[in-house]
Amino acid sequence: MNREAVLLVESFLRFPVQEITAAVMLAALATRERFGISYWDAAILEAARSLGCDVVLSEALSDGADYDGVRVENPFR
């Protein structure tokens, strides 16, 4: 079982991870203020933007909403 867990965690390494930096946090605070969304949703959007993503999958944000070039798609619609 341990080997399977290691392989699973190693498989996650193919996905880029955005560190929470001061720049990402400040951008999230500005996005929260501008769009009236929660800080956590804004942080997800800004982390995605930092990685060059233009689409975020979310059921919490409005499907089709565009946040300065990062569009939301509800995967369950």
Per-domain residue ranges for the chain? 19-73
Place of tokens 């341990």: 2
CA distances from 17 to 20, 48, 49 (A): 9, 9, 12
Inform me whether the pLDDT recorded for 13 exceeds 80.
yes
Inform me whether the pLDDT recorded for 1 exceeds 80.
no
Residue 23: predicted pLDDT: 98
Residue 27: predicted pLDDT: 98
60 contacts 42 by C-beta, under 8 angstroms:
no
Inform me whether the pLDDT recorded for 32 exceeds 80.
yes
Instruction: Please write the tens of the pLDDT for every residue from 41-69.
Output: 999 999 999 999 999 999 999 999 999 99
Residue 61: predicted pLDDT: 96
